Structure 1
C-alpha cells in the first residue's frame, strides 16, 4: 500500500489549487487550513491501512457558512473535495486518492450540540459531533439515541448519516436513516439547503433528506441534522447463550421475540473463534462460560421500559424453557450494569482483534433473516474453497440479517499473500450473497472498495438513475468523485 506523502500536482492543477487556497484563506483566514506534513497523515489513511492518500491541504471549517464558502470556491476552481467525519469508514470513501489534488474537508470542528428537545424527542447537532457525545446528551435528557456501534467514541454524526450506518440496535430502532428527521446540507455549488425540520409527518413533495443519507458525500456535505430520540430504557439486560448452530440460534430468535416483543433490542451471533480472538487479543475481557466456549454464541439484549415488567425475569424464563428443550448448552444473564457491559465488550472488540490475528478479508453483507444459517454454511464452504486453511469469523446482527463475514488468514501464512486473494474471496462470498438475494454492502457503504461490484447487484436502470442524480446535483463532479458509483464500464471490473 502506498504511503501517504505529499505529491505535487501538475502545473495546471497547482494553479487552480493555489487560486482556491488563496480564495478560501482570504475569506476565512489561515486558521481554516492545515498543510503541516506532520499533522495531515491522520486524515490520509484509514485505520485498517487499506487506503492511503495524499492531499495538498486539509480544510477544517467551523460553521455551515465556512463550508458554503469552501464549496463555492471549489466549484469556481473545479477543485475536488473529500468530506471526512471521524475517519472510521471501512470502504475508503473518506480517504483522498494519491496524486495530491483532492482536498479533505474535515468536519471535526463543527461539533456543537445545538439543541436538545426532550418534549419533542429531538436533538439538533452539527455534523462533527462524536456519536458518543450525542448518546451522552440524550441520556442527560432521559432519552436514548439508539444508533450504537463499536466506533461510536470516534465516529461523527455526519459520517454516520452519509453512510447510513447500522450498528447493534437496528433490530429495534432501524438504521441511521430512521433516526434523521431533518438535514442541513451544503450543495456542490455552495448553496445551503435548510431542511432542518423536526416533523414526523410532512408530505409536501419529495423527501429530499433521504438523497443525502447514505450518499457518502457525493451529493453535498451534511452540516447539521435533526435527530430523533427514543425513550430511555429503565434497564437493559444482556444474556450470552451457547448454541450448537446458526439454525438453532434462528429458532431461538423467534422464541425470544415472541416472549419479549419490542423490548428485544439486540440479537447478535458470534462463532467460537471470535470469542477466542477477543479473549486472546482484546482487553478487559473474560470468558463468561464455565464449561468451555460453545460452538456459537448468541448475545441477546432486552430493554425494560416499565419497572412493572422487568425483562430480566422474562428473559430468564424463556431461556430456561429453551434449555429444557435442549436448544441451549449454556446461558448467562447479566446481573448488573457492569456485567452487561462486560458481555457487550466481547462483541464490540470483534472487529478490532481480528487484525491482531493476521490478515483479515472483510465482507459486510446481508441476506433475509431466514436465510442466514444456509448462507453461513454455503459462504464458509466457498471461502474454504479459495483458501482451504483460512479461518472464517462470521458474526453480526442475526436479528436483521446483517453478517460481517470475515476470513482470517491461515495460521502461519504470509499476510500479504493472503490479502492478495481479497478480490477472489470477495467474488466467492458475494456469489453466495447474490444467490440469497442479499446485499454486498449492508451497513458500511460502498465507498471505493465496492463501487465496481455494484454491477453484480444493481441493474442498468438503477445505476442510470443514480448517475442522473449525481449529475444533477454535482455536474462538475467535484464532490467525492470515484465513490459509490462504478467508474469502469460494465464487464470491465
Structure 2
C-alpha cells in the first residue's frame, strides 16, 4: 500500500504543478474534454491519459517537459489527430499526458519577398494556404486532411500529399525548425541558411521522427509564387501499366508543368460515386483504371498552359496511351475531379472494414507491383478486394484490402486483417520497397518495422533515441521498434 500511496502522491504533485504552470485553459484532467483526443482518426487505437496539456508558447512547452522529466511522466505530442498510424494516441496505461499543440497556431513572421514564413506547430495547413495565398504565394503541399492537419504533425510524419511528384515531401519544404528536447532544452534552428556546414543537420533528424526525439514547436517554411493557372485532366485507361506509360509521356511533354499524377481503379471511383451525392463521373464509360493529371503554371507560363494540356492529350491519343480523356472546363470542374480522388478513403469506410497500407516501391516498378500484388492478395485471402490508388509518380500508392462481405468490424482486422498486412508488407519488401511511404510508423507498423527492417538501421535508430531521450518519455512505444525484453523506447 505504501508504494501505491507514494505513486498517488507523486501523481497528485505532478497534476497540481502542471495545472499551476499552464492554468485552467492549458491543462485539464476532465475526462469528457480529453476523450475525443484518445482515439486515432481511423478508430484503430484508443488509449487513456493522465491529463491533456495545451500550452500556448514554446516556453510553456519547455517548462512542461522539464516538469514531466522530473516526475517521469511520458508525453504524447498531438497536432490535428489526423494521422493514419496511431502515432499521436496514448497507450492504455493512463500514465502519459497528451500534449496538444493546437493552441500554438500563430504566424510568427512572414517575408513575402524572400518567400518564407515562420509559424507555430499548431497552425492548420488550410490556414497556412489561405494566409500565403492572400500575398499571391503558395505552400506546395496539400492533402485531403488539410482542414485539420497541423504543421507540426506534417513535419513529425514527413507528410507527402499530392504534389510530391514536383515539390517533394514535407522535408523539402522545411527551412528551419524549433523544437523542445526531452530535457526541456529549446533547439532553435529557425533561421534559414542556404549553406551551413556547422556539423549535423539536426532539423532533418527531427523531421519524420514522430515526436520521439523532440517536440516540434515552430518551423520556417519555403513558399512559391502563386499559380496563375492550372489544367486538370482525367484519363480512362485499360491497365495500370498504361498509367505508367502515360506518366512517362506526360513528363516528356509537360516537363516541370506536371505537378500531380494520381491513379485510381474502377472500384475506387465507383465507391466514391455511390458514397457522394455530388460526385459525377468525368467520362461517359467506366474504365478499369483512371489517371488524374494536373499541370500548373505561374504568370510566365499561364498563356501557354491550355495549349500544353491539349497537346498532351492529343499526343497521348495518337500513341494509344488512353482510351478516353477530358480536360476540366473550369475551376469548379477541376475541383470536382480532385474531389473524386480525395473522397476515396471516406467512401471505403462506408463500405466496411479494410486494411490500409501506405507503401512505396521504386517509381519504375510501381505499376508492375500493383499488377502483380492485387491478384496475389485476392487469391490468398478469398472474398477480399484489393485496391491501389494514389501517387503513381512518386512510387507511393495506398494499397487497401477490403474485407469480405459479412466481416465483423474490429474482429476481422485483428484476425485475418493482420495476416493480410503481413502478406502485403512481405510483398513490398520483396520489391525493395517501404512499408511506410508518407503516413509514418506510429504504433500501427512498429512491430512490422522490427520484423522487416534492416538490423543496422534499427540499431542506429535505437541508439539515437537513447541519446536524445534516455528516459524514454517522448511518445513511447511509437516508431522505434522494441528490442526483445525491453520497455517501450
Cα distance in 2 for partners of 1:395, 1:436 equals 18
Counterpart of 1:478 (choices 469, 473, 479) is 473
Indicate the residue corresponding to 2:432 in structure 1: 437
| 1:203-240 Cα shifts (integer Å, max 9, x gaps) | 22211101110000001111010011112221111111
Measure how far apart 1:486 and its partner are.
1.2
Measure how far apart 1:430 and its partner are.
1.1
Change (3 A) 1:10 1:389: farther
Matches within 5 A, 1:156-195: 156-195=150-189
Q: Equivalent residue of 1:389, what SS?
A: coil
Q: Report if aligned partners of 2:422, 2:448 keep a CA contact under 8 Å in 1.
A: no
Measure how far apart 1:312 and its partner are.
2.7
Pair 1:297-2:290 in alignment: yes
Cα distance in 2 for partners of 1:11, 1:238 equals 65
Indicate the residue corresponding to 2:352 in structure 1: 358
Indicate the residue corresponding to 2:309 in structure 1: 315
Cα distance in 1 for partners of 2:57, 2:230 equals 38
Is the deviation greater in 434-443 or in 277-286? 277-286
Is the deviation greater in 160-169 or in 406-415? 406-415
Q: Report if aligned partners of 1:85, 1:128 keep a CA contact under 8 Å in 2.
A: yes
Matches within 5 A, 1:419-430: 419=413, 420-430=415-425
Cα distance in 1 for partners of 2:454, 2:5 equals 40
Measure how far apart 1:52 and its partner are.
0.5
Measure how far apart 1:386 and its partner are.
3.2
Cα distance in 1 for partners of 2:411, 2:477 equals 27
Q: Report if aligned partners of 1:382, 1:428 keep a CA contact under 8 Å in 2.
A: no
Q: Report if aligned partners of 1:256, 1:315 keep a CA contact under 8 Å in 2.
A: no
Measure how far apart 1:274 and its partner are.
0.3
Measure how far apart 1:28 and its partner are.
2.9
Indicate the residue corresponding to 1:395 in structure 2: 389
Q: Report if aligned partners of 2:374, 2:387 keep a CA contact under 8 Å in 1.
A: no
Counterpart of 2:454 (choices 438, 450, 459) is 459
Cα distance in 1 for partners of 2:324, 2:484 equals 52
- Structure 1 stretches of 4+ with a deviation exceeding 4 A read 9-13
Counterpart of 1:225 (choices 219, 229, 239) is 219
| 1:171-216 Cα shifts (integer Å, max 9, x gaps) | 0100000000001101110111111112222222211101110000
Counterpart of 2:116 (choices 119, 122, 127) is 122
TM-score (structure 2 length as normaliser)? 0.95
Counterpart of 1:209 (choices 196, 203, 207) is 203
| 1:99-138 Cα shifts (integer Å, max 9, x gaps) | 2111000011001111221111111000000001111111
Q: Report if aligned partners of 1:378, 1:432 keep a CA contact under 8 Å in 2.
A: no
RMSD, aligned α-carbons:
1.6
Counterpart of 1:38 (choices 32, 46, 59) is 32
Measure how far apart 1:389 and its partner are.
1.6
TM-score (structure 1 length as normaliser)? 0.95
Q: Report if aligned partners of 2:229, 2:302 keep a CA contact under 8 Å in 1.
A: no
Cα distance in 2 for partners of 1:430, 1:280 equals 30
Aligned residues: 481
Q: Report if aligned partners of 2:74, 2:97 keep a CA contact under 8 Å in 1.
A: yes
Cα distance in 1 for partners of 2:9, 2:26 equals 20
Measure how far apart 1:455 and its partner are.
3.0
Change (3 A) 1:52 1:10: farther
Counterpart of 1:381 (choices 361, 375, 387) is 375
Indicate the residue corresponding to 1:3 in structure 2: none
Q: Report if aligned partners of 1:238, 1:301 keep a CA contact under 8 Å in 2.
A: yes
Indicate the residue corresponding to 2:11 in structure 1: 17
Q: Equivalent residue of 2:31, what SS?
A: coil
Q: 5+ unaligned residues in a row in structure 2: which ranges?
A: none
| 1:222-272 Cα shifts (integer Å, max 9, x gaps) | 101001111222111111100111111101111111111111100001000
Counterpart of 2:229 (choices 225, 230, 235) is 235
Q: Equivalent residue of 2:55, what SS?
A: coil
Q: Report if aligned partners of 1:129, 1:157 keep a CA contact under 8 Å in 2.
A: yes
Q: Report if aligned partners of 1:146, 1:229 keep a CA contact under 8 Å in 2.
A: yes
Pair 1:61-2:55 in alignment: yes
Change (3 A) 1:309 1:381: same
Q: Equivalent residue of 1:443, what SS?
A: coil
Q: Equivalent residue of 2:232, what SS?
A: strand
Measure how far apart 1:488 and its partner are.
4.6
Q: 5+ unaligned residues in a row in structure 1: which ranges?
A: 1-8
Cα distance in 2 for partners of 1:299, 1:11 equals 62
Q: Equivalent residue of 1:241, what SS?
A: strand
Change (3 A) 1:480 1:413: closer
Cα distance in 2 for partners of 1:301, 1:104 equals 39
Q: Report if aligned partners of 1:116, 1:141 keep a CA contact under 8 Å in 2.
A: no
Measure how far apart 1:307 and its partner are.
4.2
Counterpart of 1:277 (choices 258, 271, 274) is 271
